[in-house]
Amino acid sequence: MSTNNNNPKIPVTPYVEYPVEGLSCANCTREMQEEIQKLAYGSDAKLSYVSRKLTLSADVDMLRVERILKNDGARLVQKKSDHHGHDHGDDSDHHEHSHEGNRLIKWLLAIAATFYILTFVLNGLIPQPILITLYVIAIVLSGYSTFWRGLNNLIHLKFNMDTLMTVALTGAVVIGEWKEATLVAILFGVNELLESYGMGRARKSMEALLANAPKEASLLRNGEVTSVPIASLRVGDLVRVRSGEKIPSDGIIYEGSSAVNEAAITGESLPVTKKKGDTVFGGSVNAEGLLDIRIEKAYEDSSLSKIMHLVQEAQESKTPTELFIDKFAKYYTPAIMIVALLVIIVPPLLFGQPWMKWVYQGLAILIVGCPCSLVLSSPIALVSGMTRSARNGILIKGGVHLEQLGKIEAIAFDKTGTLTQGVPSVMEEVIYDTERFYNVAGSLEQSSLHPLAKAVVRHITNQRASSIFPDSLHLTTLPGSGIQGEVEGTTFWMGNEDILTRVIASHSEHMDTVQRDILRMKENGLTLIITVDETHVLGVLGLADKIRPETKDVIRQLHQAGITQTVMLTGDHEQSARLIAAEAGVSSYYASLLPEQKVDQIKSLASQWNVAMVGDGINDAPALATAQLGIAMGKGTDSAMETADIVLMQDHLGKLPSAIHMARRVNRIIGWNIGISLTLKAIALLLTIPGWLTLWIAILSDMGATILVTLLGMSILLGKDKS
């Protein structure tokens, strides 16, 4: 097909997406995509063997597209959706057609195999013409679609797997090898079915993951409940969710309390208790009571919708390994045809060998040359890996990121909210005036929104649960120091060490004790809040951000997994950073860093290792973007999904080691698959030297490689996911 030079790079209309049936193999799909991309406005077209979808500009000539697909036995099913509409509609009809098609192929292959077995039983008992007729029936039933596709390819000088098989089948029939030609046709049909089954299983697993989307919602309006499509929900709508029903979109509980299963979002198997005012995610399941929920996001903007959209897009991305295999396969098939031609003509012409023997060997080489198993080496493993990870609460935005995760050598962590809980807590208290301290501290801090003030109020409330603190008067913020206020007619101050200047140093013994306590608490890495009046220090609180319960164990597991460097980056002061780093068990740390200095540290690490950055996806965006791989935490937050390459949906580090193990396993399996495919083909080709290669050995080597590649790729889906 000639290339149209008038081929704009950017379509002027939105993309449209079509389901496609009849994609016979990954290599053929790649070749059809390249042909479609040669059409006007088709340069950005994508045809995916994994998701069986064609995405292209509405300006492309669809008649020519359908002709390209038809030449390879594929066809469009129907217009699915506007690419920008986030439509995840029901594809059940499409799946049903595909299922029926596979069932028909199975029956045809079974009948063909029966006829082939009959030839063995009846051999010598019936005339040769009838025996040949049985062979022909078996060949037609099992190989007619491949033959016509290959014949069409030959007419258009297009060389792919179908072309190779058509030439091999025709040649075998011409030289009278009916038995082997029939076996080749049947085994090749079985091989195609195995390919379809393997990718279908991986695809179904992904589709099962995407089936979490609720279809309807119970809208509560004027005291009446009406069933409406979730697409019609708007921000502010009130919906009712009964026990066992799915929450339609992200929102806040307006009334009620219940245990909510958030496995669809976070991968966490245990339900989470939710009450009035708590946030809930679309796709979560209300496990117990009745909930009235105020919708905060339209469905297309909800966490579940974004996850589904990202998972679907992830299937389409190609890793460097896949791109290399595609390029290799593009030149590999024509090269095999040249080798086969040389094997056919060189021995007879130069060495006087019999023509029939080397024609037979050349036909066998054509079958060995099918690149199916090689092209299939990566997609099944990648889709299985991304599906398993998503099912486990780890959202990986594409195969390229999964492959990169398996190569990571160093991981940099933000401290606050990543290694630590991100919520300061009182770790130590030293009280010199018990009678007044709690009353004054509670009064001054209860109206403040500062995180440290909230931590102080929580601590004091726990210590004096029944206390009611008087309101403080004339409350004033002292920039860089703390606050000042009047409680029951006396002025008090709370804040850092600068507050001590407010105390008249008339009690040196008391102040010496205070200074010793302050020095000790600072050496322990605590942030100090001191409460004083004009003559005395009432007490000192030492606060710190507690390390997450799982952090130490996660860091240990990462080191065991082969991560050579774990580095903590923080803006906190040296003493606090040193203590947290020691408690967490990281290899090294850098303290007192500004955001731009974090980026510099990531660049420095990246010059030595493949480095990933783990943060909360909000204030760590520059560092996440700078690292070879950005990993964000946070149950589906918009910033995490937009910034990072990988999102840990549970908002903690517990799943990070399993994600790395999964990625490395996927990379190993892809390596094994490529090795198995090439090794089996190389062994088969070497058999041509002594003239031992036969058609059935050739097809079995290709089918054996396909079976092993498929089974290894699907093995990733097996096993129990960790909670």
> Are the C-beta atoms of residues 612 and 590 closer than 8 Å to each other?
no
Give the E-state strand segments of 362-449 in sequence order: 394-396, 410-414, 420-431
**How many Cβ atoms are within 10 Å of 604's Cβ, its own excluded?**
12
Those residues with Cβ within 8 angstroms of residue 581's Cβ, 6 or more apart along the chain or in another chain: 568, 588, 589
Which residues are within 8 A (CB) of 434 and not within 5 positions of it... i.e. 6 or more apart? none
The residues near 635 (Cβ < 8 Å, ≥ 6 apart) are 262, 265, 266, 281, 303, 649, 650, 651
User: Got the DSSP string for 584-626?
Assistant: HT-SEEE-S--HHHHHHHHHHHHTTS-EEEEE-SSTTHHHHHH
Rounded to the nearest angstrom, the gap between the alpha carbon of residue 358 and the centroid of all alpha carbons in its chain is 49
Provide the 8-state DSSP code for 717.
G
Which pair of tokens denotes residue 171? 């040649």
What is the crossing angle of helices 695-714 and 379-391, to 10°? Answer: 20
- Sheet bearing 611-615, strands edge to edge: 394-396, 646-648, 629-633, 611-615, 410-414, 565-569, 588-590
Distance, in Å, from the CA atom of 544 to the CA atom of 5, rounded to the nearest integer, reads: 65
Residue 515 host element (H or E): helix 508-523
Structure tokens at 380: 């099944």
What's 655's DSSP letter? G
Residue 611, burial from CB neighbour count under 10 angstroms (0-12, 13-18, 19+): buried
Structure tokens at 135: 């062979």
Distance CA(632)–CA(644), nearest Å, equals 6
Between helix 26-37 and helix 62-71 the angle, nearest 10°, is 150
CB 164 within 8 A of CB 678: no
SS (H, E, C) 248-261: CCCEEEEECCEEEE
Instruction: Please count the residues of the chain.
Output: 723
Helix H or strand E segment including 373: helix 372-375
What phi, psi does 21 have (nearest 5°)? Answer: -110, 155
Cα–Cα distance, 138 to 186 (Å, whole number): 8
- What are 515's two structure tokens? 């200074």
Spell out the residues 6+ positions from residue 417 whose beta carbon is closer than 8 angstroms to its own. 616, 633
Tokens at 127, concatenated: 């005339």
Q: How many CB atoms lie within 10 A of CB 533?
A: 18
Rounded CA separation 125/203 (Å): 48
Has 237 been annotated as catalytic? no
The catalytic residue among 72, 250, 326, 414 is 414
SS3 state of residue 81:
strand
Q: Rounded CA gap, 661 and 108, in Å?
A: 42
Contacting residues for 450 by C-beta, under 8 A, at least 6 apart: none
Both tokens assigned to 517: 């306590």
Task: Give Cα 60 distance to the centre of its chain.
Answer: 31
What distance in Å separates the CA atoms of residue 610 and residue 448, rounded to the nearest whole number?
44
Distance from C-alpha of 648 to C-alpha of 27, rounded to nearest angstrom: 34
What positions carry a catalytic annotation?
414
